[in-house]
Amino acid sequence: MRIREPVIFTVFMFMLVIVWQMAVEIFNIPSFFLPPPSAIASELVNNLDTLLRNTYFTFLLIVEGFLLAVVFGFVLGVGIAYSWILRVTLYPLMVAIRSLPVVAIAPFFVIWVGYGSPSILLVSFFLAFFPIVIASISGLTKIDPNMLKLMRSFRASEWQILRKLRFKNALPYLFDGFKVSITLSVVGVVVGEFIASSSGVGYLVLVSNFSLNVPFAFASLLVLCILALTLYGSIVLLEKLLIPWRIRE
Amino acid sequence: MKTGNSAEELIEVKNLTKVYQSPRGDVLALEDVSFSVKKGEFICIVGRSGCGKSTLLNVISGLIPETSGEIRIAGKLLKGPQPNIGIVFQFPVLFPWRTVIKNIMLPLEVLKLGKKYYEKIPELVKLVGLSGFENKYPHELSGGMQQRVSICMALIHDPLLLLMDEPFGALDALTRYEMNFELLRIWHETKKTILFITHNVEEAVFLADRVLVMTPRPGKIAKEIVIDLPRPRRLEHREEKKFSEYILDIHKLLGLG
Ligand SMILES: Nc1ncnc2c1ncn2[C@@H]1O[C@H](COP(=O)(O)OP(=O)(O)O)[C@@H](O)[C@H]1O
Ligand SMILES: [Mg+2]
């Protein structure tokens, strides 16, 4: 079962690529409409250097945006979980801001923090932040009342309850938040690069689209896809290592 | 001057009343409950569900405040949870992220107890029948084994008193019998005082020195029945005439037949 599924998937992808290649050749589909896999592959190989350099740029911004979101999101989550006043002020404000489409406010980020990395980082942070706050609040507060009762029966201080119960309880919630957040951080960085950058994979996709170098755009997308999956996979792996008690379905 | 037996009374409950205040009106859960428990006794409280058993246990454990009346544990007026009590709840309360041994250490960590308590862990693990399971996670254990861990956690800080709220209620009948024997053995070896709540009349008669029968609305102790069966209790005692007479008496008090 475990070995068979990836094998089936690989065979499926292989067949898909062949069908795609044949379809493009048989129906004479122009390359700017749908490039054949062979053209994408040759772009990938010929421009590997450029692709890797820009991927690294994008990778760093994704991770930085994500980490900023994790740190600040968790701190705010703890604040909201404990403080009634934050719950009725910052929390609704956050929900309201969250309802704005990111592309509508990203231009303001450029005005506020400047063109390039700072505003890209801010877009990524903007998207990745909310899921962490929500996950933190849930994880810190959705606690089995019996566990709290047990802790109180030993006269545990709130600090002990936070350390020994709430933080641990929050871990699975946090990892669910991380998974959403890392995906959104990828989206944020690419959007940011569309708007305010002259490097990065998002920028490559944009310029190659403009210059109708569609095979190269597809090669960039392929790299982006691999990057996003790798990041997501690392979080899943980390989760398995850090939460061995999590019961899997 | 001390009065005759107050020195050996571990629990003294006097005129205890508990009213729950809720938006849909007040609930009189306990009314004028009085009883006492001597050091080393095994007391069972039986009653139908909803008659106030858990309320009584929660008040005695200091987790919820009484409305009026007073409770003394080892002569001291009870105000809030105190470390000379160990509690076992109906469903095992274990931290899923801690292994068995780490769960057992939790009370010691929270109460900031010293090395001497940690040194006793292996002995207690053996006593409650958990040897070989130390490094398992709770979800790898059966319900019965999980409840053994809970019992171990309730004993690890060496309390005088063990409060148990239908601890075996969620177990199948055979496992419950097994756990009854185990508990009696643990009681025998540790010489703790046990206050054990159940809705199972047979279980109460089999375990207890005295059974306190509770009736509902408002929760009251209707009668106290001294169980005069030899110790250690054995399976054969269930077949004795006296055993079934106690059960019949209690069933009558509970309004059956
Ligand atoms: N927190 C609460 N608020 C209001 N009523 C409660 C609360 N807890 C229990 N009760 C009521 O008190 C009565 C006794 O409950 P409980 O002590 O749990 O009974 P038992 O453990 O014998 O089943 C029940 O009628 C129950 O509905
Ligand atoms: Mg109950």
> How confident is the prediction along chain A (249 residues), in pLDDT tens digits per residue?
577 888 999 999 999 999 999 999 999 999 889 999 999 999 999 999 999 999 999 999 999 999 999 999 999 999 999 999 999 999 999 999 989 998 899 889 999 999 999 999 999 999 999 999 999 999 999 999 999 999 999 999 999 999 999 999 999 999 999 999 999 999 999 999 999 999 999 999 999 988 889 999 999 999 999 999 999 999 999 999 999 887 654
Q: How far is B216 from chain A (nearest CA, A)?
A: 24
Q: Are residues B198 and B236 in the same domain?
A: yes
- Please give the average per-residue pLDDT across B171-179, as a whole number: 89
Classify residue B171: in a domain, yes or no.
no
Reading phi first (left if > 0) and then psi (alpha if -120 to 50, else beta), residue B126 is in: alpha
CATH at A98: 1.10.3720.10
Residue B257 confidence (pLDDT) = 67
Residue A127, in any domain of the structure? yes
Within-domain flag for B178:
no
Residues across chain A: 249
Q: Is the CB of B27 under 6 A from ligand 1?
A: yes
Asked if residue B256 and residue B191 are part of one domain, the reply reads yes
Minimum-distance CB partner of B111 among A146, A154, A245: A154
Express as a percent the part of chain B with pLDDT over 90.
81
Instruction: Return the pLDDT at B3.
Output: 46
CA distance A163 to chain B (A): 11
The verdict on B95 touching A (C-beta cutoff 8 Å) is yes
* pLDDT of res. A3: 78
Tell me whether residue B130 is in a domain: yes
Check residue A17 and give its pLDDT. Answer: 96
Same-domain pairing of B190 and B253: yes
Pick the more confident residue, A31 or B95: B95
Calculate ∠ Cα A98-A102-A103, nearest 5°: 155
Is B103 in the same domain as B225?
no
Same-domain pairing of B67 and B193: yes
- What residues contact A224, with CB distance under 8 A and at least 6 apart? A55, A58, A186, A190, A201, A202, A205
**Residue B10 pLDDT > 60:** yes
Q: What pLDDT sits at residue B6?
A: 53
Strands B9-22 and B193-198: unpaired
Distance (Å, whole) CA A165 – CA A146:
12
Q: Which of B97, B101, B137, B92 is nearest to A168 (CA)?
A: B97
Q: Which residues contact A241 (CB under 8 A, 6 or more apart)?
A: none
Q: Which residues of A touch B107 (CB under 8 A)?
A: 154
How does DSSP assign B41-100, residue by residue? -EEEEE--TTSSHHHHHHHHTTSS--SEEEEEETTEEP-S--TTEEEE-SS----TTS-H
| Residues B95 and B46 occupy one common structural domain | no
Contact in structure between A106 and A163 (CB atoms under 8 Å): no
Residue B105 to residue B100: CA distance in whole angstroms? 9
**Interface test mutation site (partner B, options A152, A153, A239, A246, max chain B beta carbons within 10 A):** A153
Q: Is residue B125 part of a domain?
A: yes
Cross-chain residue pair A154–B82, CB shorter than 8 Å: no
Phi, psi of A197 (to 5 degrees): -150, 155
Q: Give the pLDDT score at A245.
A: 83
Residue A244 has a pLDDT of 83
Collapsing DSSP states into helix, strand and coil, what is residue B164?
strand
User: Quick check: is B1 in a domain?
Assistant: yes
- Using left for φ > 0, alpha for ψ between -120 and 50, and beta otherwise, residue A43 falls in alpha
Q: Indicate whether B210 and B251 sit together in one domain.
A: yes
Domain interval for residue B114: 85-158
Number of domains in chain A: 1
Do B100 and B138 lie in a common domain? yes
Ligand 1: does its nearest atom lie under 6 Å from the Cβ of B20?
A: yes
Distances in Å between the alpha carbon of B161 and those of A158, B89, B99? Answer: 25, 14, 26
Total number of domains in chain B: 2
Of the listed ligands, the closest to the CA of B216 is: 1
Q: How far is CA B130 from the centre of its chain?
A: 20
In a domain, A203, yes or no: no
What tokens does B22 get? 């809720």
Q: How far apart are CA A247 and CA A238, in angstroms?
A: 15
The Cα of A36 is separated from the nearest Cα of chain B by a number of Å equal to 50
Residue B34, in any domain of the structure: yes
Sign of CA dihedral B210, B187, B83, B167: negative
Q: B68 has which bridge partners?
A: B17
Are A154 and B83 in contact (CB < 8 Å)? yes
DSSP codes, chain A: -TTHHHHHHHHHHHHHHHHHHHHHHHTT--TTTS--HHHHHHHHHHTHHHHHHHHHHHHHHHHHHHHHHHHHHHHHHHHHHH-HHHHHTHHHHHHHHHTS-HHHHHHHHHHHH-TTHHHHHHHHHHHHHHHHHHHHHHHHH---HHHHHHHHHTT--HHHHIIIIIHHHHHHHHHHHHHHHHHHHHHHHHHHHHHH-SSSHHHHHHHHHHTT-HHHHHHHHHHHHHHHHHHHHHHHHHHHHH-TTPPP-
- B103 SS3 class: helix
For the Cβ of B53 lying below 6 angstroms from any atom of ligand 1, the answer is yes
> What is the A187 CA–ligand 1 centroid distance (Å)?
51
Domain-embedded: residue A16:
no
Chain B contact for A148, CB < 8 A? no
Q: Summarize pLDDT for B124-162 with one digit per residue, the tens.
A: 999 889 999 999 999 999 999 999 999 999 999 999 999
Structural domain includes residue B229: yes
Q: Which of residues 27-56 of A touch B (CB under 8 A)?
A: none
CATH of the domain at B219: 3.40.50.300
Same domain, residue pair B19 and B94: no
Residue A243: closest CA among chain B residues belongs to which residue?
Answer: B97
Q: Which of B93, B100, B152, B153 to mutate to test the interface with A (most CBs of A within 10 A)?
A: B93
Looking only at the bridges linking them, the beta strands covering B161-165 and B85-88 are parallel
Q: What DSSP designation does B190 have? A: H
Q: How far apart are CA B4 and CA B2, in angstroms?
A: 6
Count residue pairs from A and B with Cβ separation < 8 A: 52
- Whether A153 sits inside 8 A of B109 (CB atoms) is no
Residues of A in contact with B93 (CB under 8 A): 144, 146-147, 149-150
From chain A, the residues in CB contact with B63 under 8 A are 149, 152-153
* pLDDT for position A212: 86
- Write the ipTM: 0.87
In a domain, B172, yes or no: no
Q: Is the pLDDT of residue B238 over 70?
A: yes
CA distance B82 to A198: 65
Question: In the prediction, which pLDDT does B4 show?
Answer: 44
Residues of A whose CB is below 8 A from B106? 154, 164
**B242 with B201, same domain?**
yes
Judged against a pLDDT cut of 60, whether residue B64 lies above it is answered with yes
Supply the mean pLDDT for chain B.
Answer: 92
Q: What is the pLDDT of residue B7?
A: 58
Domain around A178: 60-194+228-242
Same domain, B77 and B99: no
Q: Are residues B9 and B76 in the same domain?
A: yes
Residue A214 lies inside a defined structural domain of this protein? no
CA distances (Å), origin B119, targets A97, A161, B84, B155: 55, 25, 19, 14
